[in-house]
Structure 1
């Protein structure tokens, strides 16, 4: 059965994700707690993996019910911050770590997603398994944390998600929530790095592009893809379906537009 296998959100933009059993679609069309917080410097520029590989030196965890963020530094120092009441202290700690004057901002209605007019990112488990097989020593979890999708679909083949972008593409429903594909996700520098160490993988982009072209599905709309350094899709949830819940195990059905 095609099903929702995993829900992942990234509570602080650029830092570690957490897996959830269930979550709501916000009024802004994104998932609750996804990029809910973000670190900004004095110029209003966000701290993330595109900007600095030092994000890989931190281990973080987040408890949605209490808004408690746990951070472990490379030297083993562990701190906890209540992001309901203690964001200034958290910003000061991160500022010392990143050597910048930072503020920790919050957006509960949309989150600090890159594509603010769009919604969750979607990939299949089989796609992650295939990508992991392209690189010696890469695990499926390693591919998962490199690519940082919100919604993972099981019970389908590799690149299942590619069928939902392009001319006359269908939509799909998870439970009673409709998802419409908007665009393939062009990748940045982050997937090239080991998610634990930040070390770049030799010739990652060249090998990725080569294998992506070789395995590109015949049934996908090639014109919807500007290049082959793409993986997963970005979707949109119609306004009428926002506020509804998603849960791991929900069935997935393809729907014509």
Structure 2
């Protein structure tokens, strides 16, 4: 098995950034993955005491499909976040200081329009991950499983609908479900597979058009009797992972 794609998602809900390599640390997500988020005005998120909250408290594809059309990129070296709208307008700010985040938050709030609740705030708290899980994880998807789903439903389902960190090949479709509780060596890092990923309505959103034009949850349930695609893993030993690196499943 080998790594085909590596992605991070600096802003919760916004576009992926492709990486050629990445270094991971124990108990952490990919660096800068879900490091920023726009909290809705009614969300009880306190940056002074950051705690995990469900995604509905934030700008997210599940509720805000049109954000799929925003293109985001993050320059970690300089802390600069750039977000571009479909009409070409954009904002470019240092996202690591409060004034920059305030301007980014105002820009995103204007883009959301009626979907913005109250007075949203754009956040970054060092060490906090705005992920869908209570603890930092890395998501992995077997490309053979996506291909099997596509074969059964007769249409393409772009991998970006499923927003994984690592896409890999070389394993039979759905075999990754049997890895729960086992460990993987990926590059020079060691990960433990925690559980399957139950998909949410964010997968309905076309990553190119921002339209809800498919229902992968219904397709998975009708075809396979479940709504799962991919697995979640925690980093046990840090190391480096790169495109083309091997993935080894350790004996149980």
TM tier, smaller: 0.7 to 0.9
The C-alpha deviation readout for 1:74-101, integer Å capped at 9, x for no partner, is: 3221332221342221111112112332
The C-alpha deviation readout for 1:27-83, integer Å capped at 9, x for no partner, is: 542110110111112222211112222212322222333332222223221332221
1:248 matched to 2:247:
no
What is aligned with 2:39?
A: 40
Shift in alpha-carbon separation, 1:202–1:7, aligned structure 2, 3 A: closer
What is aligned with 2:234?
A: 236
Matched-pair contact (CA < 8 Å) for 2:27–2:235: no
1:115 matched to 2:133:
yes
- Cα distance in 2 for partners of 1:67, 1:136 equals 43
The total of aligned residue pairs comes to 233
Q: Which runs of 5+ in 2 are unaligned?
A: 44-56
**Cα distance, 1:203 vs. partner?**
5.2
1:64 matched to 2:76:
yes
- Cα distance in 1 for partners of 2:71, 2:27 equals 28
What is aligned with 1:53?
A: 65
**Cα distance, 1:147 vs. partner?**
0.4
What is aligned with 2:48?
A: none
What is aligned with 2:156?
A: 138
Length-normalised TM-score, structure 2: 0.83
1:95 matched to 2:103:
no
- Cα distance in 1 for partners of 2:151, 2:77 equals 37
Length-normalised TM-score, structure 1: 0.82
Q: Which shows bigger deviation, 175-184 or 130-139?
A: 130-139
What is aligned with 2:49?
A: none
Shift in alpha-carbon separation, 1:132–1:69, aligned structure 2, 3 A: farther
* SS at structure 2 position matched to 1:117: coil
**Cα distance, 1:134 vs. partner?**
4.0
- Cα distance in 2 for partners of 1:21, 1:74 equals 27
Shift in alpha-carbon separation, 1:211–1:172, aligned structure 2, 3 A: same
Matched-pair contact (CA < 8 Å) for 1:110–1:116: no
Q: Which runs of 5+ in 1 are unaligned?
A: 214-227
* SS at structure 1 position matched to 2:168: strand
